[in-house]
């Protein structure tokens, strides 16, 4: 049952599922690009797997600086659900 729950959650992310977080909305693409209401970056974070095999939690700004990555909000979009 838990496995099915996480599979459904992963599928939602692949489809660009919008979420409500702390009164804000956000849409996150499967590859980590996001767009949402003003201030949403204070409510989200990234978890990176380092070369050493450790997990490292980062804010969006910290992740961008450490891994030379730039968020592309236009890549986070809602997709039509399969019929």
Q: Is residue 80 part of a domain?
A: no
Report the domain count for the chain.
1
Q: Does the pLDDT at position 60 exceed 90?
A: yes
Q: Where in the sequence is the domain holding 63, given as residue range(s)?
A: 2-70
The pLDDT value given to residue 83: 53
Q: Is residue 79 part of a domain?
A: no
Burial, 5: exposed, middle or buried (Cβ in 10 Å; 0-12, 13-18, 19+)?
A: exposed
Q: Is residue 65 part of a domain?
A: yes
Q: Is residue 77 part of a domain?
A: no
Q: What is the mean pLDDT of residues 43-70?
A: 91
Which residues make Cβ contacts (< 8 Å) with residue 74, sequence separation at least 6? 33, 35
Q: What is the mean pLDDT of residues 55-62?
A: 93
Whole-angstrom Cα distance, residue 47 to residue 54? 10
Which residues make Cβ contacts (< 8 Å) with residue 39, sequence separation at least 6? 24
Q: Is residue 30 part of a domain?
A: yes
């Amino acid at each position: 049952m838990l496995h099915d729950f996480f599979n459904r959650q992963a599928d939602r992310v692949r489809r660009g599922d919008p979420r409500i977080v702390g009164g804000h909305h956000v849409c996150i693409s499967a590859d980590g690009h996001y767009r949402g209401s003003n201030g949403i970056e204070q409510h989200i974070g990234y978890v990176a797997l380092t070369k050493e095999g450790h997990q490292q939690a980062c804010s969006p700004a910290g992740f961008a600086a450490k891994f030379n990555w730039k968020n592309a909000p236009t890549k986070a979009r809602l997709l039509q659900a399969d019929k």
